[in-house]
Amino acid sequence: SSGAVRRADGAVEVGGVDVRALAGEHGTPAYVLDEADFRARARGFRTAFETAFAEVGAGVDVYYAGKALLTVAVARWARAEGLRVDTASGGELAVALRAGVPGPELGLHGNNKSDAEIDAALAAGVGRVIVDSLAEVDRVATLAAERGVVAPVMVRVTTGVHAGGHEYISTAHEDQKFGLSVNPGPDGGDGPAMQGLLAVVARPELHLLGIHSHIGSQILDPSGFEAAARVVLRLRADLAARTGVLVDEVDLGGGYGIAYLPGEVPLDPDRVAKDVAHAVAAIAADLRTPLPRFSIEPGRAIVGPAGLTLYTVGTVKPVLVTGDDGGTFTRLYVSVDGGMSDNIRPALYGADYHAEIVGRTSTAAPVLARVVGKHCESGDIVVHQVQIPGDVRAGDLLAVAATGAYGRSMASNYNLLPRPPVVAVADGASRVLVRRETVADLLALDLG
Ligand code: LLP
């Protein structure tokens, strides 16, 4: 975590708490969340976007994307920093509501929401349901009618812009499950996005708040946001020309990329806010339409760098490896007490992380190491490649940085490992936000 510091005596502190004390008190593996860092990033996004969009005369709401990590305390931190909360399931919605986030400050996403999820959202009076298909327009309208409410709705569209990593591409067609394409239909008539918007406008049980676009995740080049905004604002103008309805809001989604490794450069919220604000102002001027209110949904960029995972080293095994050139080298396999069950991202996406021994200092020469978990498959990798002091040994405390997003939220019980706790640190004290699972918890689910 950017909040972690190594003191002169080698001790590493996060949130003012020595990681050895954290391990002693809470055990390992453990997810450690730096509250001040989370809050600073939440605040940073809000002020960056509010300031930049105010300059062009537009308002902005920042929704924290709960899919990255949602606990009651995390939702409260987000709200305390002036963010709203984006949820993508009934479970996320329930946690946000338990945190006391008012319904109007919540959004509900999902490409296959159940009636129960939609109804729970309507019961809570959520600020927006983001509809993802034509069929869902009807379902939300029916459920709203049953409740006697008018549901505030955004239509999620796909713009042909896909971003993530370093490049974005514009494609002529979409081949993925999310949203409604802005492309015309096969006969050259209205495409799915326009059909969805018209369907919402036609339903008295629905209020069309706006248009939503999410282009990808771990984006490091802001130009994809501008390209998507251009398509969305044009669609908004087309809808206004067709129906007289000029929607009030445009959501540009999440996806702001972070640094996972030392030396990597994250997307700077101030810069992207300025770039996007100026771009949308120019686009709206071209289209001769007033600017809408905007919203964004960052998840990873707020919670990712605020989290680290603490592990204890177990088996250490040198393995002689034959390289592509036929030569051999030694790779030190460093096993820890967790693995792909607490962080699936290396196995699933080939994601890279950085690890350090944090319980002590070492003057031993660094060696090429791979940090692996305790699961029964060889793809169970925590860090593919890292230089670690050669005297690494069982009992060492190892920290993996930037695991706050999509670690705990994608955790599993593979091999029936209980999931680690989420421990918050702030001002020199730690507090358990989500307790460690136990084998008893797992046995309780098994009815025999
Ligand atoms: N809004 C929508 C509609 C989304 O689908 C997502 C992410 C976000 C916001 C938040 O994106 P973020 O700012 O966190 O990048 N499990 C993957 C990431 C999947 C993201 C899915 N949607 C990972 O671990 O990299």
pLDDT digit string (tens) for 11-41?
899 999 999 999 999 999 999 999 999 999 9
Region(s) of the chain under CATH 2.40.37.10: 4-34+306-445
The pLDDT assigned to 162 comes to 85
For the chain, what is the total number of helices (H) and then of strands (E)? 12, 24
Burial of 222 (0-12, 13-18, 19+ CB in 10 A): buried
pLDDT of residue 174 exceeding 90: no
Query: Cis before residue 29, ω within 30 degrees of 0?
Result: yes
Helix, strand, or coil (residue 123): helix
Query: Of the residues 86, 297, 349, 410, which should be mutated to test ligand 1's pocket, given the most ligand atoms within 8 Å of the CB?
Result: 297
167-183: string of b/e by CB count within 10 Å (b at 16+)?
Answer: ebeeeeebeeeebbbbb
Per the listing, tokens 């693995």 go with 339
Residues 280/240, Cβ–Cβ less than 8 Å: no
91 assigned ligand-binding residue: no
Query: Of the residues 83, 112, 217, which should be mutated to test ligand 1's pocket, given the most ligand atoms within 8 Å of the CB?
Result: 217
Q: What pLDDT digit, counting tens, does each position of 210-259 carry?
A: 999 999 999 999 999 999 999 999 999 999 999 999 999 999 999 999 99
Region(s) of the chain under CATH 3.20.20.10: 56-301
The pLDDT assigned to 171 comes to 55
**CA–centroid distance, residue 88 to ligand 1 (Å):** 10
Confidence grade of residue 163 (pLDDT, cut at 50, 70, 90) = confident
Residues 340/375, Cβ–Cβ less than 8 Å: yes
**CA–centroid distance, residue 64 to ligand 1 (Å):** 11
For ligand 1, atom 20, which residue shows the shortest CA distance? 217
The pLDDT assigned to 373 comes to 98
Distance CA 79, CA 76 (A): 5
Question: What is the chain's mean pLDDT, rounded?
Answer: 96
Q: Are strands 216-219 and 293-296 parallel, antiparallel or unpaired?
A: unpaired
**CA–centroid distance, residue 419 to ligand 1 (Å):** 22
Distance CA 309, CA 28 (A): 9
Active site residues: 376
Of 143, 155, 89, 94, the C-alpha closest to 115 is: 143
Strand ranges of the sheet holding 17-18, from the earlier edge strand across to the other edge: 4-6, 12-14, 17-18
The pLDDT assigned to 276 comes to 97
pLDDT of residue 168 exceeding 70: no
Q: Are strands 167-170 and 161-165 parallel, antiparallel or unpaired?
A: antiparallel
Residues with CB under 6 A from ligand 1: 65, 67-68, 86, 109, 214, 217-218, 253-256, 297-301, 345, 349, 405-406, 410
pLDDT of residue 405 exceeding 50: yes
Q: What pLDDT digit, counting tens, does each position of 245-282 carry?
A: 999 999 999 999 999 999 999 999 999 999 999 999 99
- Say how many C-beta atoms besides its own lie within 10 A of residue 250's C-beta: 25
Tokens of 110: 């999902």
- pLDDT-above-70 percentage for the chain: 98
- pLDDT-above-90 percentage for the chain: 93
Q: What pLDDT digit, counting tens, does each position of 129-156 carry?
A: 999 999 999 999 999 999 999 999 999 9
Q: What pLDDT digit, counting tens, does each position of 73-129 carry?
A: 999 999 999 999 999 999 999 999 999 999 999 999 999 999 999 999 999 999 999
Tokens of 433: 């936000």
The pLDDT assigned to 223 comes to 93
The pLDDT assigned to 2 comes to 56
Query: Of the residues 41, 45, 67, 294, which should be mutated to test ligand 1's pocket, given the most ligand atoms within 8 Å of the CB?
Result: 67
345 assigned ligand-binding residue: yes
CATH architecture of 4-34+306-445: Beta Barrel (2.40)
Amino acid at 204: P
The pLDDT assigned to 3 comes to 75
269 assigned ligand-binding residue: no
pLDDT of residue 292 exceeding 70: yes
The pLDDT assigned to 10 comes to 77
**CA–centroid distance, residue 183 to ligand 1 (Å):** 23
Helix, strand, or coil (residue 404): coil
Distance CA 276, CA 267 (A): 13
Region 403-432 average pLDDT? 98
DSSP secondary structure code for residue 428 in this structure: T
pLDDT of residue 185 exceeding 50: yes
**CA–centroid distance, residue 359 to ligand 1 (Å):** 33
179 assigned ligand-binding residue: no
The pLDDT assigned to 166 comes to 43
255 assigned ligand-binding residue: yes
Distance CA 401, CA 247 (A): 41
Distance CA 390, CA 316 (A): 10
| CB neighbour list of residue 64: distance below 8 Å, 6 or more residues apart | 42, 74, 75, 78, 83, 84, 85, 86, 297, 298, 299, 302, 303
CATH architecture of 56-301: Alpha-Beta Barrel (3.20)
pLDDT of residue 191 exceeding 80: yes
Per the listing, tokens 């021994």 go with 357
pLDDT of residue 6 exceeding 90: no
